[in-house]
Amino acid sequence: MEKKKIDEDGSGPSSPKPVDRFGFIKPESSNSPDNLKRSKSSGSEREKRRVQKWRKMIGVGGSDWKHYVRRKPLVVKRRIRKGIPDCLRGLVWQLISGSRDLLLMNPGVYEQLVIYETSASELDIIRDISRTFPSHVFFQQRHGPGQRSLYNVLKAYSVYDRDVGYVQGMGFIAGLLLLYMSEEDAFWLLVALLKGAVHAPMEGLYLSGLPLVQQYLFQFDLLVKEYLPKLGEHFSQEVINPSMYASQWFITVFSYSFPFHLALRIWDVFLYEGVKVVFRVGLALLKSCHDDLVKLPFEKLIHALRNFPEEVMDPDTLLPLAYSIKISKPLEELKLEYEKVHGKEGQSIIARGKQKQVLERNGSSSRNSKRAEKQKGESIKSPETILLKKVSLRRHFSHRKAEHDKLDGPVAQPVQELKRRDSQLMSRHATS
């Protein structure tokens, strides 16, 4: 089906290139883990039963999900760790991230953001669009449906939260989501993540000064030293710090230059359990290659940290190893330590202060209060809190629209062209 798309588009390659099961164009003579996988898991009967179990758990359109999670949270956790069936992934991601609730509570908001608003980030977004998953058939076609939805989601977010705007890296997250859901769904999932519908808000990863990236790298650095002291020592000697290899792990939650089948499995757990899994997977990667890494000099080390061997990146061995690394407590302690040193002046405090205010105004009625209690210290916003944003957005719609209409000239042209296409897309979306 996807191969056909290329054929129809004149700009595509003359002969359709083979794609893997996720739609990425295969490098020549690849023996991607795909092929191995397929022969191994020939137990399609087992797969069928698994999907059935999941369908039962979710109910029609997700109707039974909340009930099931409340009754059997551990079963849900265990099943998610085994991997959400690909055909149900998009729906389940929306259920566990809290984005489904946001979508239902904010009808029409996404359309308004896409059609009527203008964003200072538009040119930045356009510059990155064709450079996000360039080897995926959905995003490869110039101005094709993939690139259009990616543009819309990113632009809508940059308007929704002008403090964050658009930051390089968000495209990979949005792109990953768009392979599993509509652009409106992807937008609300992005909101749920960045604003913290269920877990701690991620927006600090993208705010000015990248405060949360700095904090995570600080925490990761010390976790490496604690769990893998020999490697930590070697890194110090070779003057390697996590910023050189792990910043994109956090900024894109492994969606950037990582095998896609592994990224998806990490995302399953990330959406349900939170950012902790990113630390765990990072440590598990280092641990799996520990004995090689400690022998390598700077340059080879950097290379190895960007190119883990295929067998290490098999989700069924890497993820169990990751879960075996217990980090909740040290992670929290290191966070406090970081805040002691950097907190006072750090941007993160400003961001956190803002969130706290909103929280206090609204009460912290989290969708999943049990988990909320567990994660004390992390500010958690309920969908109701996030809804607030809508009111203020409405207020300046009319004003911004007037500004938008004024936009003209050579710079505005490509933007307006995109906008015209956006509205076409939106109307199609609305009728379907």
Partner 1 sequence: MATIGHNNLNAKLVLLGDMGAGKSSVVLRFVKGQFLEFQESTIGAAFFSQTLAVNDATVKFEIWDTAGQERYHSLAPMYYRGAAAAIIVYDITTQESFSRAKKWVQELQKQGNPNMVMALAGNKADLEEKRVVLAEEARTYAEENGLFFMETSAKTAKNVNEIFYEIAKKLPRAQAPQNPAGMVLVDRQGDAARASSCCS
Q: Which is nearer to partner 1, 72 or 131 (CB)?
A: 131
**Least distance CB 313 / partner 1 (angstroms):** 18
In the complex with partner 1, which residue's Cβ is closer, 76 or 125?
A: 125
Residue 181 vs 210, nearer CB to partner 1: 210
To the nearest whole angstrom, how small is the minimum distance from the Cβ of residue 239 to partner 1? 5
Q: CB 207 → partner 1: shortest distance, Å?
A: 8
Q: Tell me whether residue 251 or residue 284 sits nearer to partner 1 (CB atom).
A: 251
Would you tell me the crossing angle of helices 44-58 and 89-97 to the nearest 10 degrees? 40
Q: SS3 sequence, 10-33? A: CCCCCCCCCECCCCEECCCCCCCH
HSE-up of 283 (CA within 13 Å, CB side)?
A: 27
Closest distance between partner 1 and the C-beta of residue 379, in Å?
Answer: 22
- CB of 182 or CB of 347, closer to partner 1: 347
Q: 190 to each of 5, 38, 84, 337, how far by Cα in Å?
A: 27, 31, 19, 29
Q: Which is nearer to partner 1, 167 or 193 (CB)?
A: 167
Question: Looking at beta carbons only, is 69 or 240 nearer to partner 1?
Answer: 240
To partner 1, the closest distance from the beta carbon of 199 in angstroms equals 21
Separation of alpha carbons 284 and 109, rounded Å = 41
Judged by CB, which is closer to partner 1: 98, or 204? 204
Minimum separation from the CB atom of position 351 to partner 1 (A): 14
Q: How far is the CB of 247 from partner 1 (least distance, A)?
A: 4
Q: Which is nearer to partner 1, 99 or 214 (CB)?
A: 214
Please, what is the minimum distance in Å from the beta carbon of residue 201 to partner 1?
Answer: 17
Q: What residues form DSSP beta bridges with 34?
A: none
Binding site for partner 1 (CB under 8 A): 124, 127-128, 130-134, 140, 167-169, 171-172, 206, 208-210, 213-214, 236, 239-241, 243-244, 247-248, 251-252, 256-257, 299, 302-303, 306
CB 66 → partner 1: shortest distance, Å? 35
* Residue 123 CB, nearest approach to partner 1 (Å): 8
User: Based on CB atoms, which residue is closest to partner 1, 243 or 365?
Assistant: 243
Residue type, 339: E
